[in-house]
Structure 1
């Protein structure tokens, strides 16, 4: 039986999933028509634009914790939901996606860093691996909503 470095394997798997696995989030967002990103479907309280802002804000909170666990003990504050429901322009939509991607790459770089202890329990009882998994779960949940909205609006 092979001697497998389980921490390295976990880091590789987290990176693969953060990059999007079989459905990269950044590609999905770039495919979304900015003209439809502000539409709120009946029965919902959010548009694709609001979801992107919410996903990115939570990603930033979790990244800040991962970067400096003892400096950011509050990893699940009240969720940020943007008040404006639509991008002002195609450029604003694209800039928001670029910012999300840039910050996602920071998370990925941190997860790859063998100096960052994935399993060290921090003051708040959480770990960096917990934060990475929480980010995956949270983003996946809302990307599913965004994908559903896009299908309803004829984006795909």
Structure 2
């Protein structure tokens, strides 16, 4: 049974971090000119900055839900999206990107931790399991990575990336 459990954890970790069926977070934001971070292309309601910051906030929220018995739900949608279409400066951008990466690594640490039964419900939740939360992060991130790529394509800022 341990082999199946290890395989599941491995697959979930790959889903969270590896380039498989889609680009990674770092692929999606890599090489983007700073002046394009806050541009909303015609016909699209979000900028790359808004997507990145939303991903960071949502992922942090899921991580807090998994970790903190005193977790309090945020208000949708106001608490999940930035107020501005562009970061104030490079420091804010970098902080958001690094926060996203750090929290993603924490989610991965949770998946790696064999003292956590991924099938067990989060104790203070409503039957949500740790596995469900990790898969939710993977799914949500993949969705918004695709949106970042769409925005970049509309801005003619995607270039010759591996997944085209």
Relative to the length of structure 1, the TM-score reads 0.86
Counterpart Cα distance in 2 of 1:73 and 1:6? 34
Name the SS for the 1:31 alignment partner: coil
CA RMSD in angstroms, aligned pairs only: 2.0
Q: 1:73 to 1:132 in 2, by over 3 A?
A: farther
- Note if contact 1:38-1:87 (Cα within 8 Å) is conserved in structure 2: yes
Aligned residue number for residue 141 of structure 1: 143
Query: Which consecutive segments of 4 or more residues in structure 1 shift more than 3 A?
Result: 70-74
Counterpart Cα distance in 2 of 1:71 and 1:115? 21
Residue 4 of structure 1 deviates from its aligned partner by 6.3
Counterpart Cα distance in 2 of 1:138 and 1:52? 12
Relative to the length of structure 2, the TM-score reads 0.82
Unpaired stretches in structure 1, ≥5 consecutive residues: none
Aligned residue number for residue 34 of structure 2: 34
Unpaired stretches in structure 2, ≥5 consecutive residues: 159-164
- Note if contact 2:56-2:97 (Cα within 8 Å) is conserved in structure 1: no
Count of residue pairs the alignment pairs up: 152
Aligned residue number for residue 72 of structure 1: 71
